[in-house]
Amino acid sequence: MIIGLAMTGSSYAAVNSLQLTDTFELGAFGAPTNYADGFSVGSAGAINHSLTFTILTNLYAGSGVSDIPLSLTIGQTTTEFFNIDGLTAEIFDSLNNSYASFVSAGDADHLTLPANSYFAAGNYTLKIGGTATGSNGGLYTVAAVTTPVPEPETWGMLLAGIGLIGLRMRQRIRARGHVAIN
């Protein structure tokens, strides 16, 4: 069930309502892709979410998972409406082997995938954990950016270009040396 919209950059992402233990299909990803979505849990307790997705072609990905705490302080009283303590995120392959672990990006509310994480085509599951502690549960976002893996022909062209640049530089150095001798 969709309960609202969250602004992400210049596009809108749905906020999907999940139970404390739930599975959600994120869809299929190719490259390049920009993705963002929000997830809410309507009650306090241990979160155990499995967000499944498919990678269509080999790619590099960057991703982040962020808790979105929402509280209100009036005088000396603070009410936490949404919060997640101990947020965790890990990606598993189709055989349920750990594939990539997210790491803290400066604080416990923001986790990131290590830079230039490689994904082969296949099925994966992003497992989200933590404890929803707000009076209305917890709220978090998942964002990802993918880029294609260069084809072997691209690497060949790059190396040939670097070789030609090196050859031209060598010719210039020889030409300068030849002129200086005369």
How confident is the prediction for the chain on average, in pLDDT? 85
- Residues contacting residue 147 through CB under 8 Å, at least 6 positions apart: 31, 32, 59, 60, 61
Alpha helices in the chain (DSSP H): 152-181
Q: What number of other Cβ atoms are within 10 A of residue 175's Cβ?
A: 10
Domain boundaries, the chain: 2-149, 151-182
Higher per-residue confidence, 87 vs 170: 87
- Residues contacting residue 125 through CB under 8 Å, at least 6 positions apart: 50, 51, 52, 53, 91, 92, 96
Mean pLDDT within 89-115:
92
Q: How much of the chain, in percent, has pLDDT values that exceed 70?
A: 82
| Tens-place pLDDT, residues 133-142 | 999 999 999 9
Rounded Cα gap, residues 148 and 60, in angstroms: 6
The pLDDT of residue 162: 75
Q: What number of other Cβ atoms are within 10 A of residue 74's Cβ?
A: 7
What sign does the CA torsion over 7, 113, 2, 83 have? Answer: negative
CATH number of 2-149: 2.60.120.380
Residue 166 DSSP symbol: H
Residue 113 DSSP symbol: P
The first and second tokens of residue 161, run together, are 């270009």
Degrees, nearest 5: CA angle 116-148-165:
90
| pLDDT of 177 higher than 50 | yes
Higher per-residue confidence, 156 vs 172: 172
